Amino acid sequence: MRRYWAALSVLLGLCGVFLWSSPVGAQQVQPRWGRDYFPNVVLQDQDGRSLRFYDDMIQGKIVSINFVYTTCTDICPLDTAQLREVQRILGDRVGREIHMYTISINPERDTPADLRRFMRSYDVAPGWTFLTGSRADIDLLQRRLGLRPVGERNLRDHDTSIIVGNERTGQWIRRSAYESPRLLADLLARTLQNYATAPVNPRLSYSAAGQVADTSQGAYLFRTRCRSCHTLGEGDRLGPDLAGVTRSRPHAWLARWIREPDRVLAERDATALALLSRYRNVPMPNLGLNEAEVNQLIEYLERQDQAAGAAPNAASPRR
């Protein structure tokens, strides 16, 4: 028993030392990854201006960083649409207290002019910067951010993660391209600021919580893969409103369009080309869904159409 109380006294004494000394220690903490870790390579933004990665882009800032290429037809369109929704949620805080950067992994092709066209296609608002540079510098940046670079011939295999961080505190977080835009926005606006700001998502009581009406895999796929570009009865976004789509398109065509839209476009399918032209030339991404997932997604859309009476939105063109 004496040993127990002796050990407890030592433990409490140590706790007291830590509690007493923590304010001083907190003031002396330096970022773990700073100038000595991040390269100060020079990149060019969409307007042709040169920016140094550490000095101009991240030093002392809260940032999001992701890597795409403008001719990508699989995950990059979804990645960009997700971040566009993050920018919409954050509003004018982007470019002022939160800095969003998208860097091309195909710098031999993606010039500043290409980046500007890409931004216009996705209706990117001011404050979000797109950049290009040399392949060696961009590969080095990816490695320092914990991502695996790929060669020019393997662009489709590139890492699509979104990196968010606070350079001043040294806190860096890696997130999936399928992450909820609201959660990403809250990470940037609140978590990385040590919860010193108001939450992006209002805190509601449990009594105000809505019931999840559909917990199917198809509903999950729509929320995580489709909702950044499409709605169901709320009008067009980057892509068409999908209300009534299971009635307006043949099942076989719709299933193939969802599973391999890049091939359908490559075959010059008239319907696919018309959709591409109508919606800012933003390609439908190939999300890598298998046959079962495609069927689950279509079944979910069919249930929504049945529940709504499958009345097409008059404001939207044929989907």
Domain ranges across the chain: 42-193, 217-307
As a residue count, the chain comes to 319
Neighbours of 317 (CB within 10 A): 13
137: which residues sit within 8 A by CB, 6+ positions away? 39, 41, 42, 43
226 is in an annotated binding site: no
Helix/strand/coil for 194: coil
Please say whether the beta carbons of 109 and 69 come within 8 A.
Answer: yes
167: which residues sit within 8 A by CB, 6+ positions away? 31, 33, 34, 38, 58, 59, 60, 61, 62, 63
Residue 290 is predicted with a pLDDT of: 97
Integer Cα distance of 283 and 264 in angstroms: 11
Residue 7 is predicted with a pLDDT of: 44
Tens digit of pLDDT at every position of the chain (319 positions) = 444 444 444 343 434 333 333 333 444 455 577 889 999 999 999 999 999 999 999 999 999 999 999 999 888 999 999 999 999 999 999 999 999 999 999 999 999 999 999 999 999 999 999 999 999 999 999 999 999 998 777 888 888 899 999 999 999 999 998 899 999 999 999 999 888 777 776 665 666 656 667 889 999 999 999 999 999 999 999 999 999 999 999 999 999 999 999 999 999 999 999 999 999 899 999 999 999 999 999 999 999 999 987 444 444 444 4
The class that CATH gives domain 42-193 is alpha beta
Where would I find the beta strands (DSSP E) of the chain?
42-45, 50-52, 62-68, 98-104, 128-132, 162-166, 171-175
Residue 37 is predicted with a pLDDT of: 95
Angle at Cα 102 formed by Cα 139 and Cα 90, nearest 5°? Answer: 145
In which residue are the tokens 């990816």 written? 142
The class that CATH gives domain 217-307 is mainly alpha
* Residues facing residue 184 across a β-bridge: none
Integer Cα distance of 31 and 168 in angstroms: 6
Helix (H) or strand (E) holding 253, with range, is helix 251-259
In which residue are the tokens 């993606």 written? 110
72 is in an annotated binding site: yes
Integer Cα distance of 32 and 21 in angstroms: 20
* Structure tokens, 303: 């249930």
Strands 42-45 and 50-52: antiparallel
* Structure tokens, 195: 């919860």
Neighbours of 318 (CB within 10 A): 13
Domains 42-193 and 217-307 agree in fold = no
Distances (CA, A) of 15 to 1, 7, 10, 12: 21, 12, 9, 5
Radius of gyration from C-alpha coordinates of the chain? 24
Integer Cα distance of 196 and 199 in angstroms: 9
Helix/strand/coil for 94: strand
* Structure tokens, 268: 């010059």
Neighbours of 11 (CB within 10 A): 10
- DSSP-assigned letter for residue 237: S
Residue 19 is predicted with a pLDDT of: 33
